[in-house]
A and B are shown apart, each in its own frame.
Chain A
């Protein structure tokens, strides 16, 4: 369980994280989303006591990270690929980490095997690929068998097989009742791995909700309709909440009306439908939609309209 309460971090005049309050619960994978510079890494560093909050607090399992007597057993962290001395072997890096808290050599070998680094464990980390570095970072995080995992971009640089492996691993770790908190800029990956989302923009909280709700709330669902009577249906659908677009002559992209209602309406007026497809927005769209507002925060009004205006329209090739 990670609890942030009015967490704030300022670097001089720049505010990286502002009054962030959220809770990361055990038992599920929680995703941490935000555009670059939104304060994700800063927040994660504050969770681990690496950066000091300007104000506010963040605790892990009820205590500040630094107050834990055996921190590696409480929280496993992957902060950035290769927070490891490049001249040291993976084995010796893990051995030195393990030594601080009395973890035995057997466990070091165990995590090396778990992440699949057996063959290169004695090689210097400087020669590791990004993916190998990520695996080593994960081994470091798992070393103390912690109840909480904080992972900054863990799938960065992994091959598809590695991505699948880490997704399965994280889900199984969460299923054991652990708290799993990960940031990623790969939306599709996040949609597959995370159940819950904490979304930040410009250091502020934008959403703290389930992935499904986040998508539903951020982007109204769209229905794709293909009909030879497109013009007639468009006129019938007209309403204050309804938006109809469409780039092809016989295709309408409708938001604000459910596919059921469109079907009934068409049937009542004897309009033939070739296609009636509800289209779920992707997490990526939901994310863009939500964080664009956060990005707009400090942009003057007129500029904002010009910049955001065209982007607000959803294209035809949605989802």
Chain B
């Protein structure tokens, strides 16, 4: 039955010595591996990621087809405003919601089912769990979204080529946009993990993610215009998406500054989550 050995002890009975004694230290690489197993072993995760990939590609192609169809009747001013790379990556707006929801669920799913207690019992230092979840989900999201963005970009440009309004990956600023969308989505996922770890409740976490990405910009739009112009560019979604715009709108942060602000939002959220994870009872 036992894998260990029984040795005669000095006390009343035998002293148990586990065969595994002295081995099996918890290392960060091992925790990463555990989180990777967890991420890939949930069907829901798989399907949400498939949905996100599909949304990025399908919506991009759809918008490009619409653009081409309307092109003969499009005004010159509007034609000048077209960003060919961004048109093929419109799926970002839906994919961010899928990724945000999944990021929240990666953490809150553990609290809802009680599996967080098994997780923390295995890694009592706790913080490696948060970092590993962040790393695994961030990398998986980035890799998948980068692939989806490339496919969306290439197929979208192929559609736009009918009217000769396509751009190529080699054009200035284009690689930054394609990679930028994947970066933005991965950081959105990480931000969502932090939010999930703070509120520990799926409904609350998803509401906050939607609030940040969708509602907050609308609320700010209702403010007096001089406030608006000062605040809008610092909102998480606006700042992050600065990296993804081929032609800057003018009143926004530079791509570099924008993504830095967005990463800071995610970092602060994770830091708060880390402090709470250490301090709170599981």
- A residues sitting closer than 8 Å to B (CB atoms) are 26-28, 45, 48-52, 65-66, 68-73, 75, 77, 79-80, 82-89, 92-93, 95-97, 99-103, 107, 110, 114, 124, 140, 144-147, 169, 172-173, 175-178
Contacts and interface: CB of A to CB of B under 8 A. Distances in A.
B127 to A, nearest CB: 11
Contacts of A83: 113-118
Contact of A101 (B38, B110, B116, B122): B122
A82 B30 CA distance: 23
B13 to A, nearest CB: 3
Contact of A177 (B9, B19, B42): B9
Contact of B2 (A71, A97, A173): A173
Interface stretch (B20-28, B69-77, B188-196): B20-28
Given A50-B281, A99-B33, A100-B30, A107 B121 contact: no
A28 B109 CA distance: 37
29 contacts: A28-B13, A49-B121, A49-B124, A50-B117, A50-B120, A51-B282, A52-B279, A69-B25, A70-B22, A70-B23, A70-B26, A73-B21, A73-B24, A79-B118, A79-B121, A82-B113, A85-B113, A87-B113, A89-B41, A93-B115, A96-B35, A96-B38, A101-B30, A102-B23, A102-B30, A145-B18, A147-B4, A173-B1, A176-B4
A213 to B, nearest CB: 17
Contact of B34 (A50, A100, A144): A100
Nearest to A137: B118
Given A50-B117, A83-B118, A96-B38, A176 B6 contact: yes
A140 B6 CA distance: 22
Contact of B18 (A88, A92, A146): A146
Contact of B11 (A27, A77, A176): A27
Contacts of B115: 83-85, 88, 93
Given A70-B20, A100-B34, A103-B24, A176 B120 contact: no
A107 B34 contact: no
Nearest to B3: A145
Given A83-B116, A101-B25, 5 more contacts: A49-B120, A71-B121, A73-B18, A85-B38, A147-B17
A65 B113 CA distance: 23
A87 B43 contact: yes
A107 B117 CA distance: 22
B41 A88 contact: yes
A177 B8 CA distance: 9
Contacts of B118: 79, 83-84, 93, 97, 140
B121 A77 contact: yes
Contacts of A88: 38, 41-42, 115
A225 B27 CA distance: 67
B18 A86 contact: no
B113 to A, nearest CB: 5
A172 B20 contact: no
Contacts of B4: 145, 147, 176
A84 B17 contact: no
Contacts of A28: 13
A101 B33 CA distance: 10
Given A50-B282, A100-B31, A146-B18, A65 B24 contact: no
B44 interface: yes
B12 to A, nearest CB: 6
A66 B38 CA distance: 22
Contacts of B19: 145
B122 A97 contact: yes
A126 B26 CA distance: 28
B140 to A, nearest CB: 15
Contacts of A99: 30, 33-34, 37
B16 interface: yes
B26 A71 contact: yes
Given A27-B11, A85-B42, A85-B109, A96 B114 contact: no
B117 A79 contact: yes
Contact of B13 (A26, A69, A80, A89): A26
Contact of B12 (A27, A50, A100, A147): A27
B124 A177 contact: no
A147 B18 contact: yes
B79 interface: no
Contacts of B27: 102
B15 interface: yes
Interface in B64-117: 109-110, 113-117
A97 B34 CA distance: 7
A170 B31 CA distance: 30
A179 to B, nearest CB: 8
